[in-house]
């Protein structure tokens, strides 16, 4: 995953005030690879990366994140923004019947979606009517009728009596669409969903047909349905439909498969049209409102890293960090009190082991992390609390008899007190090294 690949990159980066071009380049290379792996179209990747670089360059380094994490955060924010920010809902007609029209290649999932939309609208209190305008494919009308039946929504079709399983219905799709809307008006259906024909590739005749239907019925929404697995072809297909028929929104289907969803970014980037729904299976309910944030982490393939970043930012106590930074600036010594407060900071971040495992760079520390015992933090606290204030700021004075007293006071063995003091000594050295750097302190005493 991207987080694994970023681990190496992050290890060499140090917090230093502002993000530098080198920081960004290192991370951008991995992001580019992740986007290509997700099947985002090549020219879209190029533009997107350029945009990210521009925004990241000179961005201030946050206290809670290292530069690599911060670039990832910017990328994620930018992805969510491009994918649509807030989710857009269907715009219903102010008065009269709302007309929705579905367009897209054959096999994209239009007819399946028609049933799902009808079902959803019905459970929202609408009275939808499905209209079968795919008169091209054998069985297309029947398929819609089956879907309508499952959704409990009536279907308007040119030959209501079609019984032979493979009969190809005949008729003019434009006329069927108009008749369907007339039927809706007379029977008080407030929403009409028009299913149309598609072909395996972009086809002028079919494009013209969809265009004619659109011109005749003037839909409130034209939804372009696209298969998430289409990969690099997404750009050309979306452009062809955008110019040929035009559409107001996009539905991404087959997101239950392993497609990482790069098509979403490509389509959005080249057409500027919002992605409104996601289809996630063949069942009626495998359908949801599109969530740009979920899609962003799917494209980047790093949900865990994002939640880690969020959590780190939420829990990192800024004032505590600033106090620490000031201490270093003032050349003050790192004391056992500071050590304890660092431990408490880390504990606040939730289950430490799980958190640390998610951290970029954790792979190289896996063994140490696996041995890490969370309850040891509580014992460290107990030990430090058994020390006098003077001992905490001047641990050098803690001799044998003091160690014995502290061990007794905190209910641990003397060797555990010794081990803590040794780890503290290491942490003290490390903190001195970090003094100029800022950023998030590592795990005291746990460095490689």
Interacting residue ranges for ligand GDP, rule: CB under 6 A? 104, 106-112, 198, 225, 253-254, 256, 279-282, 286
Instruction: Specify the 3-state DSSP secondary structure of 225.
Output: strand
State yes or no: 104 annotated in a binding site. Answer: yes
Closest CA relative to residue 223, chosen from 88, 128, 85: 88
Interatomic CA distance for residues 119 and 284, integer angstroms? 7
- Minimum separation from the CB atom of position 82 to Mg ion (A): 30
Identify the burial level of 269 via C-beta atoms within 10 angstroms of its C-beta, where 0-12 means exposed, 13-18 middle and 19 or more buried: buried
State yes or no: 253 annotated in a binding site. Answer: yes
Interatomic CA distance for residues 388 and 115, integer angstroms? 72
C-beta closer to Mg ion: residue 157 or 431: 157
- Minimum separation from the CB atom of position 18 to Mg ion (A): 53
C-beta closer to ligand GDP: residue 153 or 431: 153
Instruction: Give me the residues that bind Mg ion (CB under 5 A), please.
Output: 110-111
State yes or no: 257 annotated in a binding site. Answer: no
State yes or no: 172 annotated in a binding site. Answer: no
State yes or no: 195 annotated in a binding site. Answer: yes
C-beta closer to ligand GDP: residue 9 or 280: 280
Interatomic CA distance for residues 76 and 296, integer angstroms? 6
- Minimum separation from the CB atom of position 347 to ligand GDP (A): 43
- Minimum separation from the CB atom of position 443 to ligand GDP (A): 44
Q: Which two tokens stand for residue 28?
A: 């951008």
Interatomic CA distance for residues 394 and 397, integer angstroms? 6
Closest CA relative to residue 176, chosen from 147, 202, 140: 140
CB 162 within 8 Å of CB 142:
yes
C-beta closer to ligand GDP: residue 153 or 225: 225
- Minimum separation from the CB atom of position 180 to ligand GDP (A): 17
Q: Which residue is nearest to Mg ion (CB)?
A: 111
Phi, psi of 226 (to 5 degrees): -135, 135
C-beta closer to Mg ion: residue 132 or 191: 132
Q: Which two tokens stand for residue 288?
A: 């949801």
Identify the burial level of 376 via C-beta atoms within 10 angstroms of its C-beta, where 0-12 means exposed, 13-18 middle and 19 or more buried: middle
State yes or no: 198 annotated in a binding site. Answer: yes
Pick one of ligand GDP, Mg ion, none as the site partner of residue 69 (Cβ within 5 to 8 A by kind).
Answer: none
- Minimum separation from the CB atom of position 179 to Mg ion (A): 19
- Minimum separation from the CB atom of position 198 to ligand GDP (A): 5
CB 187 within 8 Å of CB 129:
yes
Interatomic CA distance for residues 204 and 252, integer angstroms? 23
CB count, 10 Å around CB of 382? Answer: 15
Instruction: Specify the 3-state DSSP secondary structure of 55.
Output: helix
Helix boundaries (H) for 255-361 = 262-271, 292-300, 303-315, 318-329, 336-348, 352-358
C-beta closer to ligand GDP: residue 98 or 280: 280
State yes or no: 435 annotated in a binding site. Answer: no
State yes or no: 283 annotated in a binding site. Answer: no
C-beta closer to Mg ion: residue 111 or 271: 111
State yes or no: 134 annotated in a binding site. Answer: no
> Residues annotated as binding site for GTP?
104-111, 195-199, 253-256
> Residues annotated as binding site?
104-111, 195-199, 253-256
């Amino acid at each position: 995953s991207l987080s694994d690949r970023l681990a190496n990159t992050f290890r060499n980066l140090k917090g230093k005030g502002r993000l530098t071009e080198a920081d960004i380049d290192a991370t951008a290379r991995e992001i580019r690879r992740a986007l290509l792996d997700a099947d985002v179209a090549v020219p879209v990747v190029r533009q997107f990366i350029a945009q990210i670089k521009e925004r990241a360059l000179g961005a201030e380094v946050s206290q809670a994140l290292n530069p690599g994490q911060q670039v990832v955060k910017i990328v994620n924010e930018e992805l969510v923004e491009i994918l649509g920010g807030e989710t857009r809902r269907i715009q219903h007609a102010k008065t009269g019947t709302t007309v929705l029209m579905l367009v897209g290649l054959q096999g994209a999932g239009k007819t399946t979606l028609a049933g799902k939309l009808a079902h959803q609208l019905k459970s929202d209190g609408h009275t939808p009517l499905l209209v079968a305008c795919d008169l091209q494919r054998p069985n297309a009308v029947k398929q819609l009728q089956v879907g309508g039946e499952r959704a409990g929504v009536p279907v308007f079709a040119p030959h209501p009596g079609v019984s032979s399983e493979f009969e190809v219905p005949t008729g003019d799709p434009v006329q069927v669409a108009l008749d369907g809307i007339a039927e809706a008006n007379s029977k008080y259906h407030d929403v009409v969903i028009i299913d149309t024909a598609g072909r395996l590739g972009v086809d002028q005749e079919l494009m013209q047909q969809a265009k004619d239907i659109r011109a005749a019925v003037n839909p409130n929404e034209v939804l372009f349905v696209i298969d998430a697995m289409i990969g690099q072809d997404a750009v050309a297909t979306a452009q062809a439909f955008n110019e040929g028929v035009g559409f107001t929104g996009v539905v991404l289907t087959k997101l239950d498969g392993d497609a990482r969803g790069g098509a979403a970014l490509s389509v959005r980037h080249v057409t500027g049209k919002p992605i409104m729904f996601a289809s996630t299976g063949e069942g009626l309910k495998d359908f949801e409102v599109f969530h740009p944030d979920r899609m962003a982490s799917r494209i980047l393939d790093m949900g865990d890293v994002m939640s880690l970043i969020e959590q780190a930012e939420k829990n990192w106590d800024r004032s505590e960090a600033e106090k620490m930074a000031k201490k270093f600036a003032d050349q003050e010594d790192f004391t056992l009190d500071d050590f304890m407060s660092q431990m408490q900071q880390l504990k606040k971040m939730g289950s430490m082991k799980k958190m640390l495992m998610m951290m970029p760079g954790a792979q190289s520390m896996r063994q140490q992390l696996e041995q890490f015992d969370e309850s040891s933090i509580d014992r460290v606290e107990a030990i430090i609390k058994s020390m006098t204030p003077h001992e905490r700021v001047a641990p050098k004075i803690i001799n044998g008899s003091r160690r014995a007293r502290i061990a007794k006071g905190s209910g641990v063995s003397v060797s555990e007190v010794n081990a803590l003091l040794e780890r503290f000594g290491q942490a003290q050295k490390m903190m001195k090294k970090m003094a100029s750097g800022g950023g998030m302190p590592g795990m005291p005493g746990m460095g490689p």
